[in-house]
Structure 1
Amino acid sequence: MNSVEAVVTAATKLMLAGHWTAATELLDATRSDDPAEQHSLALARAAVAVDHDFGQQSDHATAALAAVPEDSWDLALLELRKDYADALFRSGDGDLRDRMLTLVGDAPDDARRAAASFWAGAIADNVYEQPAEAIEHYTHALELGDELTKAQALRHLGHHSHAAGNLELAREQWEQSTELLQKHGHLRPALAQQAHLAILLRDEGDADGSAALATEVTRWARQLGIGFIVDQTEELMRDLMVRRTPQERPR
């Protein structure tokens, strides 16, 4: 591994841990005269920016994506992920369906096909409201992906198991997802996953366990500035408070 590869690996680990600014600063401080290494650094900056924007609904990705010196499949996937975030948080669209299917079909290897399949599932699920199509994409991602991709696929498949009332399968999928995300230090989706485990505890009748887990997730998410997770767990805690009898409510 050369020095630029080592820097990109370190920046990726910082990104997964939610240290987006530190990851960007590390990449910005690294210089190379080699065009391939320059492209690698620019692509890594764009990946950090896209992940940052998804976590905090900021806009670092527009400039970072434009700065990547040449087109590639990897750049196209990052652009799709940015536009998906815009569709979720800013009511955008940008014709995501054709692009997501093209990326799945044109993926240069199984790992990339799995990643594209996961994002295709998320788009089908959350933008176009096509759950059957989404499950099919998630299943492909689970079959072909690395552990982080499998973790994301399991997380979303667990949503569908939960919605179908299969709490046992949802717990199995969500716990496996959480373990894989924790193994690789991917903090943001690990927190989102634990928020859903807190919801599952509520649905299983463990209000105290649900409240305790939701409280810890809220603290972590607030420190990272991930507002949508804070909103979700605070809503859950309000719901738990309403469900308690007056005698059970803390004073």
Structure 2
Amino acid sequence: MTNTTGTTVAFDELLVAARELSLAGRWETALRLLDATTCDTAGDRGRLALASAEVALQSDWFGGTDLTARRAEHAEKESPGADWDLAFVRLRHDYLRLLRGEGTFRPGPEGKDPEALAGIRRTAHDLHEEGPDGVRCGWASMYLGLIADNLFAERTAAPAHYEAALRAGEAGGDDLLVREALRHLGDHDHDGGDHDRALERWGRATALGARAGMVPGVLSQQMLLAVLARDIGDAAGATVLAREIARWAEAIGAEHVHAQAVGFLAGADPTAPPRESGS
């Protein structure tokens, strides 16, 4: 049990509530809830700090904040010699920082530190080898694919990792992992000109995100559907959808998705792949 604002609630239920608030884009509320919570045991304090770092990462990714580093450091202090889950938070944060660069999203290896690129790939490989269960190994596979795709511009290498992540997510019942894998496999279908397969995967990914209550993630997925609509000749439908995505994203503070939608309306393609490595 834990105590928050004078009310006793089950600790596991509190963590679930904070996670669901975070998925819905209510990052400040989730962090306030976690910060107001006191725990009786060192183990629970470590879990609480880890949950806070995970919420901070969602806020940084979708909301453009810079909260994860401090929260991850606190989680490390609460759990010295931290476990796989905190190491995975750090991996995702490093990926975001390399992808974001100086405040803008810059896929591909150009302008990035080669040692940092090699290090993040090595870390993802180690997490895959050390994953304590199939789902967590699947998440490491997912990031091996993202790193290959978006940091190294190795487009042909990434899909095998996404397929492994998809199998792990389906076997383990992790809708968010399945969503993430389908999202990026659909991106490769789209780039290869298979619009029917892209629509199938992207539509399913959108539904899975909605079922999980992932509001910013659903908007980012709908952004892909707007891209596809424009590609198949439905420019009017694509514009209407993108305008609504921009409106919703701005309303909830999903800065990255809002920027994508605004760029799309100006003619940009948010799915344009980085240049192939060595090109």
TM-score by shorter chain over 0.5: yes
In 2: Cα distance, 1:183 partner to 1:57 partner: 24
Please say if 1:87 is aligned against 2:98.
yes
* Structure with the higher helix share, 1 or 2: 1
1:134 and 2:158 equivalent? Answer: yes
* Kept in 2: contact 1:141–1:153 (CA 8 A): yes
Secondary structure of the residue aligned to 1:33 is: coil
Secondary structure in 1 aligned to 2:38? coil
* 2:35 counterpart letter in structure 1: D
Q: Does 1:235 align with 2:263?
A: yes
Counterpart of 2:15 (choices 8, 13, 18) is 8
Q: Secondary structure at the match of 2:132?
A: coil
How much has 1:228 moved relative to structure 2? 2.6
Q: Provide the rounded CA distance (Å) in 2 between the counterparts of 1:108 and 1:46.
A: 20
Give the structure 2 partner of residue 246 of structure 1. Answer: none
Distance 1:137 1:189 in 2: 21
Structure 1 counterpart of 2:196, from 146, 168, 174: 168
CA RMSD of aligned residues (A): 1.5
Larger RCO, structures 1/2 (Cα 8 Å, 6+ apart): 2
Equivalent runs, 1:172-191 vs 2, <5 Å:
172-191=200-219
Which digits, 9 at most, give the CA deviation of each residue in 1:145-178, with x for residues without a partner? 1111000110011111000011110000000000
Any unmatched runs of 5+ in structure 1? 241-251
> Where do 1:6-85 residues align within 5 Å?
6-68=13-75, 69-70=78-79, 71-85=82-96
Provide the aligned length of Structure 1 versus Structure 2.
240
Matched, 1:198 2:214: no
CA contact (8 A) 1:11 1:23 kept: yes
Distance 2:72 2:267 in 1: 40
Q: CA deviation at 1:49?
A: 0.7
Task: Flag structure 2 segments of 5+ consecutive residues without an equivalent.
Answer: 2-8, 103-111, 269-279
Match of 2:275 in 1: none
- The one-letter amino acid paired with 1:46 is A
Identity score, percent = 37
How big is the shift at 1:62? 0.8
* SS across alignment from 1:67: helix
The structural deviation recorded for 1:130 is 1.3
Quote the Cα distance in structure 1 between the aligned partners of 2:88 and 2:72. Answer: 11
Q: Secondary structure at the match of 1:59?
A: coil
If the length of structure 2 is used for normalisation, what is the TM-score? 0.83
Paired with 1:41 and 1:235, the residues of 2 have a C-alpha distance of 37
